[in-house]
């Protein structure tokens, strides 16, 4: 079979449909553009940390101005494509709305930086391995995931849901932390280690919450009939959730100042100041030669 024949068969599969074609459809946001936007937003929030340009008092105005101009243009384009697709309208009909979202985001960068400063401080105060804010900003995946989430959540609320999901999935791929952009997260949020953390769409998290690796804040059911309902838990202020804990359900509330231990499976509400523990079964035996497992369970 020639390459021409292979190409013809592939194109014919496009024409046959199957629900995974977008040939001739509306233009969609670009994954590459979204990844670049996320990177530039991180640079805008944390100037001088990882940019190739060296920021000084003499260069900061120019470099920041160039970054703002790039972001304004790139965001307008991607948000316009998203809103036009979501609303099934022409690009010109939604461009003004896209510009309003861009203005809200870029004009709100100082407030966003203030919120991120609290997130950095929460990590510095809570993790004895952290030596300095610089280390947290440069090396902590939990903080990077929170930065992107706080921006993606704004886009989600504005209706630009493809861009929001693409941003969250881009950072998910880079950190192993999966935060749905619809989730509501309060101040001073702390994700330590982070690998395997999953936070669902309708989750509500209060202030000063700490989450460790492998935590899932999920739904009891994945039925599409529940698409527009609360499916994920509420975590109130000053709660710590240790590694591997799973908390499920839209009616599940973890009361403020509670601690959820590692590997807990929780599907019911607990009052404030609770300690929820996983009770492990431990069998004590002795190691013996010749035992395939190297362990004598004593039974």
Give dist(CA 156, CA 149) in Å, integer: 10
145 and 213 belong to one structural domain: no
pLDDT tens, per residue, the chain with 299 residues: 899 999 999 999 988 877 788 888 789 999 999 999 999 999 999 998 877 778 888 899 999 999 999 999 999 999 999 999 999 999 999 999 999 999 999 999 999 999 999 999 999 999 999 999 999 999 999 999 999 999 999 999 999 999 999 999 999 999 999 999 999 999 999 999 999 999 999 999 999 999 999 999 999 977 666 667 789 999 999 999 999 999 999 999 999 999 999 999 999 999 999 999 988 777 776 556 555 444 444 43
Show the DSSP H helices in 88-160 as ranges: 91-107, 109-126, 133-139, 141-157
167 and 244 belong to one structural domain: no
Give dist(CA 137, CA 219) in Å, integer: 31
212 and 124 belong to one structural domain: no
Contact in structure between 68 and 76 (CB atoms under 8 Å): no
136 and 273 belong to one structural domain: no
Residue at 118 is within a domain: yes
Contact in structure between 201 and 232 (CB atoms under 8 Å): yes
Residue at 288 is within a domain: no
| Backbone dihedral angles phi then psi of residue 259, each to the nearest 5 degrees | -125, 125
Q: Strand 184-185's sheet: what is its strand order?
A: 184-185, 204-205, 234-235, 253-254
35 and 172 belong to one structural domain: yes
Give dist(CA 111, CA 134) in Å, integer: 20
DSSP bridge partners of 275: 259
167 and 187 belong to one structural domain: no
Domain encompassing residue 112: 26-176
Give dist(CA 138, CA 49) in Å, integer: 7
Q: What is the model's pLDDT at position 251?
A: 96
For residue 136, give the CATH number of its domain.
Answer: 1.10.3130.10
Q: What is the model's pLDDT at position 181?
A: 98
Domain boundary among 155, 176, 197: 176
Q: What is the model's pLDDT at position 284?
A: 78
Residue at 8 is within a domain: no
170 and 115 belong to one structural domain: yes
Contact in structure between 208 and 187 (CB atoms under 8 Å): yes
């Amino acid at each position: 079979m020639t390459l021409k024949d292979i190409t013809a068969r592939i194109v014919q599969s496009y024409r046959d449909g199957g629900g995974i074609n977008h040939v001739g459809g509306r233009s969609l946001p670009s994954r590459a553009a979204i990844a670049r936007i996320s990177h530039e937003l991180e640079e805008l929030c944390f100037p001088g940390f990882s940019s190739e340009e060296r920021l000084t008092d003499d260069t900061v105005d120019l470099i920041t101005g160039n970054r703002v101009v790039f972001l304004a243009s790139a965001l307008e384009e991607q948000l316009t494509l998203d809103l036009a697709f979501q609303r099934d309208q022409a690009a010109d009909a939604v461009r003004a709305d896209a510009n309003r979202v861009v203005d809200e985001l870029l004009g709100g960068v100082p407030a966003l930086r203030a919120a991120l400063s609290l997130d950095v401080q929460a990590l510095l105060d809570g993790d004895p391995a952290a030596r300095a804010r610089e280390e947290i900003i440069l090396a902590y995946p939990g903080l990077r995931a929170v930065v992107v989430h706080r921006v993606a959540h704004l886009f989600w609320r504005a209706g630009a849901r493809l861009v929001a999901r693409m941003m969250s999935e881009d950072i998910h791929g880079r950190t192993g932390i999966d935060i749905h952009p619809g989730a509501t997260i309060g101040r001073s949020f702390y994700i330590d280690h982070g690998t395997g953390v999953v936070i669902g769409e309708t989750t509500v998290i209060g202030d000063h919450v700490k989450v460790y690796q492998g935590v899932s804040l999920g739904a009891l059911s994945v039925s599409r009939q529940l698409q527009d309902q609360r499916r994920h838990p509420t975590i109130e202020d000053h709660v710590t959730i240790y590694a591997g804990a799973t908390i499920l359900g839209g009616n599940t509330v973890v009361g403020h100042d509670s601690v959820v231990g590692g590997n807990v499976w929780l599907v019911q509400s607990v009052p404030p100041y609770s300690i929820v523990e996983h009770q492990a079964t431990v069998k004590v035996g002795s190691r013996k030669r010749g035992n395939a497992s190297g362990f004598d369970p004593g039974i």
